[in-house]
Protein backbone atom coordinates (compact mmCIF):
# COMPACT_ATOMS: atom_id res chain seq x y z
CA UNK A 1 0.00 0.00 0.00
CA UNK A 2 1.11 3.53 -0.78
CA UNK A 3 0.39 6.74 1.09
CA UNK A 4 -1.64 9.39 -0.77
CA UNK A 5 -3.05 12.86 -0.22
CA UNK A 6 -6.16 13.97 -2.04
CA UNK A 7 -7.15 17.63 -2.25
CA UNK A 8 -10.30 18.56 -4.10
CA UNK A 9 -12.08 21.84 -4.69
CA UNK A 10 -15.85 21.83 -4.64
CA UNK A 11 -18.15 24.52 -6.00
CA UNK A 12 -19.47 26.92 -3.37
CA UNK A 13 -22.93 26.69 -4.94
CA UNK A 14 -23.11 22.97 -4.09
CA UNK A 15 -25.79 22.27 -1.50
CA UNK A 16 -24.74 20.83 1.84
CA UNK A 17 -26.49 17.55 1.14
CA UNK A 18 -24.75 17.14 -2.24
CA UNK A 19 -21.41 18.04 -0.71
CA UNK A 20 -21.93 15.49 2.04
CA UNK A 21 -22.97 12.83 -0.51
CA UNK A 22 -19.83 13.43 -2.55
CA UNK A 23 -17.64 13.39 0.53
CA UNK A 24 -19.12 10.11 1.80
CA UNK A 25 -18.80 8.62 -1.71
CA UNK A 26 -15.09 9.48 -1.80
CA UNK A 27 -14.54 8.26 1.77
CA UNK A 28 -16.40 5.00 1.09
CA UNK A 29 -14.29 4.37 -2.00
CA UNK A 30 -11.10 5.00 -0.03
CA UNK A 31 -12.21 2.78 2.86
CA UNK A 32 -13.19 0.00 0.45
CA UNK A 33 -9.79 0.02 -1.23
CA UNK A 34 -7.50 1.11 1.57
CA UNK A 35 -7.24 2.91 4.87
CA UNK A 36 -8.45 6.43 5.69
CA UNK A 37 -5.90 8.30 7.83
CA UNK A 38 -6.97 11.93 7.97
CA UNK A 39 -10.06 13.64 6.64
CA UNK A 40 -11.16 17.23 6.90
CA UNK A 41 -12.61 20.28 5.25
CA UNK A 42 -10.12 23.09 4.89
CA UNK A 43 -12.90 25.55 4.20
CA UNK A 44 -13.97 28.19 1.74
CA UNK A 45 -11.12 30.07 0.10
CA UNK A 46 -10.66 32.51 -2.73
CA UNK A 47 -9.12 30.96 -5.83
CA UNK A 48 -5.97 32.39 -7.37
CA UNK A 49 -7.76 32.46 -10.72
CA UNK A 50 -11.26 31.69 -11.95
CA UNK A 51 -12.11 28.05 -12.57
CA UNK A 52 -15.29 27.55 -14.58
CA UNK A 53 -16.36 31.11 -13.66
CA UNK A 54 -15.97 30.33 -9.95
CA UNK A 55 -14.07 32.75 -7.72
CA UNK A 56 -14.31 30.78 -4.45
CA UNK A 57 -14.27 27.07 -3.67
CA UNK A 58 -14.54 24.73 -0.70
CA UNK A 59 -11.29 22.83 -0.13
CA UNK A 60 -11.16 19.27 1.23
CA UNK A 61 -8.06 17.30 2.26
CA UNK A 62 -7.91 13.53 2.71
CA UNK A 63 -4.87 11.43 3.62
CA UNK A 64 -5.11 7.71 2.99
CA UNK A 65 -3.26 4.49 2.23
CA UNK A 66 -4.39 2.53 -0.82
CA UNK A 67 -3.26 0.22 -3.58
CA UNK A 68 -2.09 2.06 -6.71
CA UNK A 69 -4.73 0.26 -8.83
CA UNK A 70 -7.59 1.84 -6.87
CA UNK A 71 -6.37 5.38 -7.64
CA UNK A 72 -7.57 5.17 -11.25
CA UNK A 73 -11.12 4.48 -10.09
CA UNK A 74 -10.95 7.37 -7.59
CA UNK A 75 -9.62 9.61 -10.37
CA UNK A 76 -12.55 8.63 -12.61
CA UNK A 77 -15.05 9.16 -9.79
CA UNK A 78 -13.81 12.71 -9.15
CA UNK A 79 -13.51 13.59 -12.84
CA UNK A 80 -17.12 12.65 -13.57
CA UNK A 81 -18.59 14.53 -10.62
CA UNK A 82 -20.05 17.91 -11.61
CA UNK A 83 -19.49 19.51 -8.19
CA UNK A 84 -15.70 19.03 -8.24
CA UNK A 85 -13.81 21.92 -9.84
CA UNK A 86 -10.29 20.51 -9.45
CA UNK A 87 -8.56 17.73 -7.59
CA UNK A 88 -5.06 16.44 -7.01
CA UNK A 89 -4.02 13.00 -5.85
CA UNK A 90 -0.38 12.97 -4.76
CA UNK A 91 1.64 10.01 -3.58
CA UNK A 92 3.53 11.04 -0.46
CA UNK A 93 5.85 9.51 2.07
CA UNK A 94 4.01 7.98 5.01
CA UNK A 95 4.44 10.05 8.15
CA UNK A 96 6.19 8.40 11.04
CA UNK A 97 5.55 9.16 14.69
CA UNK A 98 8.69 11.30 14.67
CA UNK A 99 7.35 13.33 11.74
CA UNK A 100 4.05 13.87 13.51
CA UNK A 101 5.81 14.91 16.73
CA UNK A 102 8.06 17.28 14.77
CA UNK A 103 5.00 18.86 13.12
CA UNK A 104 3.34 19.31 16.50
CA UNK A 105 6.48 20.95 17.88
CA UNK A 106 6.64 23.25 14.88
CA UNK A 107 2.99 24.21 15.34
CA UNK A 108 3.57 24.92 19.03
CA UNK A 109 6.68 27.01 18.38
CA UNK A 110 4.88 28.95 15.64
CA UNK A 111 1.98 29.59 17.98
CA UNK A 112 4.34 30.75 20.73
CA UNK A 113 6.16 33.10 18.38
CA UNK A 114 2.82 34.45 17.14
CA UNK A 115 1.71 35.06 20.72
CA UNK A 116 5.03 36.72 21.53
CA UNK A 117 4.72 39.02 18.51
CA UNK A 118 1.20 40.04 19.45
CA UNK A 119 2.33 40.76 23.02
CA UNK A 120 5.23 42.85 21.72
CA UNK A 121 2.90 44.76 19.42
CA UNK A 122 0.49 45.41 22.27
CA UNK A 123 3.29 46.67 24.49
CA UNK A 124 4.65 48.81 21.67
CA UNK A 125 1.28 50.42 21.06
CA UNK A 126 0.84 51.00 24.80
CA UNK A 127 4.19 52.73 25.06
CA UNK A 128 3.46 54.78 21.94
CA UNK A 129 0.14 55.89 23.39
CA UNK A 130 1.77 56.80 26.70
CA UNK A 131 4.50 58.76 24.90
CA UNK A 132 1.92 60.64 22.86
CA UNK A 133 0.03 61.52 26.02
CA UNK A 134 3.23 62.74 27.65
CA UNK A 135 4.03 64.83 24.59
CA UNK A 136 0.53 66.30 24.51
CA UNK A 137 0.75 67.52 28.11
CA UNK A 138 3.89 69.67 27.52
CA UNK A 139 2.35 71.01 24.32
CA UNK A 140 -0.66 72.19 26.28
CA UNK A 141 1.61 73.88 28.81
CA UNK A 142 3.55 75.55 26.00
CA UNK A 143 0.31 76.75 24.45
CA UNK A 144 -0.74 78.18 27.80
CA UNK A 145 2.62 79.94 28.09
CA UNK A 146 2.19 81.33 24.61
CA UNK A 147 -1.29 82.52 25.51
CA UNK A 148 0.03 84.11 28.64
CA UNK A 149 2.80 85.77 26.79
CA UNK A 150 0.33 87.02 24.18
CA UNK A 151 -1.88 88.37 26.92
CA UNK A 152 1.08 90.03 28.55
CA UNK A 153 2.06 91.55 25.23
CA UNK A 154 -1.43 92.87 24.75
CA UNK A 155 -1.36 94.46 28.18
CA UNK A 156 1.99 96.07 27.52
CA UNK A 157 0.79 97.36 24.17
CA UNK A 158 -2.29 98.78 25.80
CA UNK A 159 -0.16 100.49 28.42
CA UNK A 160 2.15 101.92 25.78
CA UNK A 161 -0.76 103.15 23.74
CA UNK A 162 -2.27 104.79 26.79
CA UNK A 163 1.02 106.43 27.57
CA UNK A 164 1.32 107.64 23.97
CA UNK A 165 -2.17 109.02 24.03
CA UNK A 166 -1.41 110.92 27.26
CA UNK A 167 1.72 112.43 25.78
CA UNK A 168 -0.13 113.83 22.77
- For the stretch 97-153, pLDDT in tens is 787 788 889 989 999 998 998 888 888 888 888 887 777 766 666 666 666 677 888
Give the fold, CATH level 3, of 2-93: Alpha-Beta Plaits (3.30.70)
Residue count of the chain: 168
Give the residue extent of every domain in the chain.
2-93
CA distance 35 to 116: 40
| CB-based contact 19:83 (threshold 8 Å) | yes
**pTM of the predicted model over 0.75:** no
Beta-carbon contacts of 92 under 8 Å, excluding residues fewer than 6 positions away, are: 3, 4, 5, 63
Kindly state the percentage of the chain with pLDDT values over 70: 90
Q: Provide the pLDDT confidence category of residue 88 given band limits of 50, 70 and 90.
A: very high
Could you give the count of Cα atoms lying within 13 Å of 58 in the half-sphere of its Cβ? 17
DSSP 92-140: EPPPPHHHHHHHHHHHHHHHHHHHHHHHHHHHHHHHHHHHHHHHHHHHH
pLDDT (0 to 100) of residue 56: 92
pLDDT tens per residue, range 17-36: 998 999 999 999 999 998 99
DSSP three-state, residue 50: strand
Whole-number average pLDDT of the chain: 85
Beta-carbon contacts of 63 under 8 Å, excluding residues fewer than 6 positions away, are: 3, 4, 5, 6, 36, 37, 38, 39, 92
| Mean pLDDT across 65-92 | 91
Amino acid sequence: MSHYELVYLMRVSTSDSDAQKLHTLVNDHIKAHGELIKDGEIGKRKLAYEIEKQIHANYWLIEFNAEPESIKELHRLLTLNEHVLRFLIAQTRAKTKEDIEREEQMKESMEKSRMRKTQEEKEKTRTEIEEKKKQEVPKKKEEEKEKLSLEELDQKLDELLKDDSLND
